Amino acid sequence: MPELKEYESRMIKTTEVLASQYAAVRAGRANAAVLDQIEVDYYGVPTPIRQIASISTPDPRTLLIQPWDGSTLKLIEKAILVSDLGINPQNDGRTIRLVFPQLTEERRKELAKQVRKYGEEGKVAIRNIRRDAMDRFKKIQKKGEITEDDLKDLEKDLQKLTDDYIKAVDKQTEAKEKELFEI
């Protein structure tokens, strides 16, 4: 009988991707994860900022980016400006400072919408994994490798697995939304 492990690992991966997307959503305090999605064109290769600079948080609302190669300072600044981060970098010639402003109510609502959208995309991805699994199980059943009862059992187990991961996505989404409004 086919295993559900492959599909469960895909669902786990989906929740991990969602967690990294949520980490990149700016929640009013400085968090280096917001830079994870931003890449710099470093000698023709798109490179994450973390790989070409040290990132520190001198205070709760500030990120300090110190490139290891001074020539990348302007490239990092440009990458941040063209990103959808919504913060103007302050370049002092040696470092780049990002000061995170207090979130306005309007910005919190925008971010909450974005968080819900990510959550919905995560749930759709999990449902697609379920659909792929069901298609595969039905093909196996048509070949006569498993019985109809086995198929029903797999269907039931797969639905429980799907429901569990949908709940996990909902919890992640709820926690991130709550974080946006408590700062």
Beta strands in the chain (DSSP E): 39-42, 45-48, 53-59, 62-67, 90-91, 96-99
Given 1.10.132.20, 2.60.40.420, 3.40.50.720, 3.40.50.2000, which CATH number is that of 5-22+104-182? Answer: 1.10.132.20
Q: Which CATH architecture has domain 29-99?
A: 2-Layer Sandwich (3.30)
pLDDT in tens, 60-105: 788 898 988 888 888 888 888 888 777 788 888 888 888 877 778 8
Residues 27 and 111 sit within 8 Å (Cβ to Cβ)? yes
Residues 10 and 129 sit within 8 Å (Cβ to Cβ)? yes
User: pTM of the predicted model, to two decimals?
Assistant: 0.70
Find where tokens 């103007």 sit.
Answer: 88
Backbone angles phi, psi at 30, to 5 degrees: -65, 130
